Amino acid sequence: MEIVRTITQLNTVINAAKKQGSSVGFVPTMGYLHEGHISLVEEARKHDDFIVMSIFVNPLQFGPNEDFERYPRNLQRDEKLAKAANVDVIFYPDIEEMYRSELTCTVQVKKGVNTLCGRTRQGHFDGVATVVLKLFNIVQPTRAYFGMKDAQQVAVIENLIADFNVPVQLMRCKTLREEDGLARSSRNVYLTEIERQQAPEIYRCLKQTVEKIENGERNLAQLKEEMVEFLSTKTIGTLDYVEILSYPSLEETNEIKGEIIIAIALKFAQARLIDNVIITV
C-alpha cells in the first residue's frame, strides 16, 4: 500500500493501474477510520481491481460553530486499518494541495439541503459537494462508495453526478447495524445504559413504518404522527425530526410513490442518532 500526498503522484499511480486494465474503486473519507469505512472498502473489493482511499479533513464543510481543528486525526492508525483492508493507495493531501489558492468557484447545492440534517447545517453540503467533485476529477474512479447511513449526503452526490455528467458510478452501501438493529456509530459510546437499551427503537420505528406502507397505508400525516408517538413512548430522547420524502430529490411529497426515504433523528443526552430506510413503492 502506498501513501501519496500530491495530486501529481496520485495521477501517476492511478494511470499505471488503468494501463494494466484495472478498474478504480474510490472510498473518500475524512480519516479516523472505523468499521463503516472498512465495509466500504470491502464492498469496493467486490467490484473493482484497484482501491483508492482519500483521507482529507475538508474545511469547507465545517460551519462557524463546528471545530475543524478538533476533528480527530490519526494517520498511523488509519494506515494500519487501510492496509489490513487491502487498500492500494491512500491519498493524503494537505489543505494547500487541495486548495492552492482562494477558490474562484464552488458548488452551491440548491435542492435537498434544507431538510433533515441540512436544516441546521447551512452551507455544509456546499462544502461536501465542492470537495467531492474535486476528488472525482482528481481520482477519476470507475465507482465511488458511500454509506447509506448518511443518506442525505448520498442524495446530494447522486444529484451532483447527474447534474454535471460526472463519469462515475455511485455505489450505495448498506448501513452497518448491531445485532439489535441499532445503526453503528462512533456516537453510540456516549449513550447511557438506559439510552443504549432504547436506541434500537429508532430502527424498529422505521421498520414498522415500512410495514404499514407495504400493507397499503398512504396517509403521510398519519404515518409521521404514529412515528412521533412511537418514539415518544419508547424512548426518553428528544425528537429532532421524522421525515418521509422523495429520494434522492429529498422533496416533500403528497403521495407515497416511487423511491422514498423514511428518516429519523433523535437526541439523547450526549448523542444525536440518525437512521433511515429507503424503499420503492
Residue of 29, 37, 56, 268 marked active site = 37
21: Cα within 13 Å, side-chain hemisphere: 0
Say if residue 147 carries a ligand binding annotation.
yes
Say if residue 31 carries a ligand binding annotation.
yes
47 tagged catalytic = no
Say if residue 186 carries a ligand binding annotation.
yes
Say if residue 35 carries a ligand binding annotation.
yes
Say if residue 153 carries a ligand binding annotation.
yes
The partner residues of 171 in beta bridges, in order of sequence, read 145
Say if residue 121 carries a ligand binding annotation.
no
Say if residue 46 carries a ligand binding annotation.
no
Say if residue 148 carries a ligand binding annotation.
yes
Q: Which long-range contacts (CB under 8 A, 24 or more apart) does 112-116 make?
A: 112/152, 112/155, 112/156, 112/159, 112/248, 112/249, 112/250, 112/251, 113/152, 113/156, 113/250, 115/152, 115/243, 115/245, 115/250, 115/252, 116/152, 116/241, 116/243, 116/245, 116/250, 116/263, 116/265
Kindly report the backbone phi and psi dihedral angles of residue 120, in degrees, each rounded to the nearest multiple of 5, phi listed first: -110, 10
DSSP, collapsed to helix, strand or coil, labels residue 158 as: helix
CA distances from 231 to 94, 211, 218, 269 (A): 43, 16, 20, 15
Say if residue 185 carries a ligand binding annotation.
yes
Say if residue 34 carries a ligand binding annotation.
yes
- Which three cell numbers mark 82? 487501510
Say if residue 61 carries a ligand binding annotation.
yes
Q: Which residues are annotated as a binding site for beta-alanine?
A: 61
Q: Which residues are annotated as a binding site?
A: 30-37, 61, 147-150, 153, 176, 184-187
Q: Which residues are annotated as a binding site for ATP?
A: 30-37, 147-150, 176, 184-187
- Could you list the active site residues? 37
